[in-house]
Amino acid sequence: MPNTLNSELRDATYRWIADDPDPETRDELQRVLARALGQEPGAADEVADRMAGPLEFGTAGLRGPVRAGPNGMNVAVVTRTTAGVAQWLKVKGHAGGVVVVGRDARHGSEAFARAAAEVLTAAGFAVKVLPQPLPTPLLAYSVKHYGAVAGIQITASHNPPADNGYKLYDGTGGQIVPPSDGEIERLIQAAPAAIGVERAPGAEVVDPRPAYLAAVAALPPGPERELRIAATALHGVGAETLEQALAQAGFTDVHFVAEQSQPDADFPTVSFPNPEEPGATDLLLALASEVDADLAVALDPDADRCALGVRGRDGAWRMLRGDETGVLLGSHLLSTTDSPDPLVATTIVSSSLLGELAKAAGARYAETLTGFKWLVRAGEGLIFAYEEALGLCVNPGFVRDKDGIAASVFAAGFAAALKAAGRTPLDVLDDLATRHGVHLTDQVSLRVTDLAVRGELMAGLRAQPPATLGGAAVTLEDLLPGADVLRLRGEGLRVVIRPSGTEPKLKAYLQVVTPVDGDLEAARAIASDSLSAVRRDIDTLLS
């Protein structure tokens, strides 16, 4: 690769530096540019990468590495983004309305939240800011609680430590959906340089926690509270709020992984701060065994996702898959709700077992595209929604998004009721499988360095889809133009393939269903063999 900058890129970099209101990132990019001008190996490529932006604003907002330049998360990018959001709100007739701003504890979050709040204040909005780094569900709650026209949370959820992000909620309390993202993207592009965007202090500090915690504490339907819980916040912002929520609901025997209970933007004990990742919950499961817990709970760093761990019949602890947790909590909600016409929902990539449970309970069921922005819009009467990636909403009445805090409290009530009856979550999973068939799910993820690879693989599958998977004939359903998703179906199996919306991955979601004819373990063995065969074929297709 050449070690020299072309004049166009050099001049664009100088302009960005001149227009950046943050002296730290001005200096940072100036140093990178100086190395490139000195023809230091690799420096010109780094300048090109940093200037390759801007970060694209989608329905998940922004996510990217914290660094100087338009292709990163920094004060200049957040300033211009918020100017676009402010203009969009005005166009939609919300000038002067309330906007709530929250943040997690990642690198840059405090400065980014301040920039967003000051841009909105200068633009004439009544800005309310949360008092400290808090879970994303509290921001989602605050939008409806304060009658806001929008909410902004500075967070990168469970992304790697180097990243941060910007998540936007509209006045419904849910994340934005198309065409809002495209409208905002165009207004960001039309915004002035960051140094020319007006900013003003004066946002009001508000604390929604007392009202939120009171609502969460009322979620468990039964009186049982005898339960020992092991928990981790994975160095995120959830520990304090989770402990308060559990205590207010009556669960006081709670033990946190000490090494992971305080916010730490470097996430020192995990290679990837996501409860789904191998090794991320090792310390939690060790603690659960040490304290003889009844339930293990892992939050992701911004506490909107929740993973549960249970003790197996062999005495060893394991984390439940997202689909297992989803059907367990969905089943419990369906059996305890007093809603006259309840609706439960999941996504096209999650287990279809929830649909069987809804049918048996006489409830309505919906499947949506992936993402809680769609799930919370599944229909009237929604009482529960989940997605297999550990997203759970047991409280759509007051949080229109996934909520790991509320899900943890509701799960504690469920586990306590089972313990009082001498049963475990695994017993319930056995019951559900016996009645509705063994539903096994798995995921194959291909991480790419070049995003074009994902498009090439999807195009190849569209042009030449497989005729069989795992020895069973399959047919292809293409969800374009509505969604870049391929669905393969056969007798007792389903595979959904799509590019990830938040990570550089192509994902395949696998499901096999095997009826139980008296022998549950035999059916599980058959299902496991079928799933393995399908997975081998998918691995080959995506290699």
DSSP state, residue 197: S
Q: Which of 226, 258, 215, 252 is nearest to 239 (CA)?
A: 258
For residue 58, the one-letter residue type is G
Alpha helices in 192-252 (DSSP H): 209-217, 239-249
Length reported for the chain: 543
Q: What count of other Cβ atoms lies within 10 Å of the Cβ of residue 168? A: 24
> For residues 209 and 244, is the Cβ–Cβ distance under 8 A?
yes
331 annotated active-site: no
Burial pattern 325-342, b for ≥16 Cβ within 10 A else e, equals: bbbbbbbbbbeebeeeeb
Q: How many CA atoms lie within 13 A of 31 on its CB side?
A: 7
3-state secondary structure 352-414: CHHHHHHHHHCCEEEEECCCHHHHCCCCCCEEEEEECCCEEECCCCCCCCCCHHHHHHHHHHH
Pairing of strands 317-319, 306-311: antiparallel
Rounded-to-integer distance, Cα 97 and Cα 225, Å: 42
C-alpha distance from residue 409 to each of 48, 143, 251 (Å)? 47, 22, 8
For residue 20, the one-letter residue type is D
For residue 513, the one-letter residue type is V
Looking at the DSSP bridge assignments, the partners of residue 290 are none
Burial of 452 (0-12, 13-18, 19+ CB in 10 A): exposed
Instruction: Look up residue 459 and give its two tokens.
Output: 């195009």
The answer to whether the Cα torsion of 325, 327, 328, 332 is positive or negative is positive
Catalytic residue chosen out of the listed positions 142, 157, 352, 408: 157
User: Active-site positions?
Assistant: 157
